[in-house]
A = this chain, B = another copy of it.
């Protein structure tokens, strides 16, 4: 078994109004960033996963997203990164 650093992103579905994103967009315009539009805000979740392979680590986190990290009624999720963690050699 190896250790992987996995990142997942949970975002509101396109059809759901993103009130937080709209608020941030207005604030950006006020402080001088008029060229930023269509802001949407989500959650970024990073974790270590012990698994036999990168594919298994990805599937494990996708299952965790379905079960806990995302609300599938209003949110989408995707795994954005699966990187092996360098392990210390002992002995």
Chain A positions 7-61 with a Cβ under 8 Å from a chain B Cβ: 9-11, 21, 24-25, 27-28, 31-33, 35-51, 60-61
Which of B28, B44, B69 is in CB contact (< 8 Å) with A64? Answer: B28
Q: Size class of A's contact patch? A: 35 or more
On whether the beta carbons of A44 and B44 are closer than 8 Å, the reply is: yes
Chain A positions 51-91 with a Cβ under 8 Å from a chain B Cβ: 51, 60-61, 63-64, 67-69, 80
- Cα distance A12–B27 when bound, in Å? 22
On whether the beta carbons of A27 and B68 are closer than 8 Å, the reply is: yes
What is the minimal beta-carbon distance from A76 to any residue of chain B, in angstroms?
A: 12
Nearest B residue to A46 via CB reads: B40
Q: Which residues of B contact A45 (CB under 8 A)?
A: 21, 24, 39-42
On whether the beta carbons of A64 and B11 are closer than 8 Å, the reply is: no
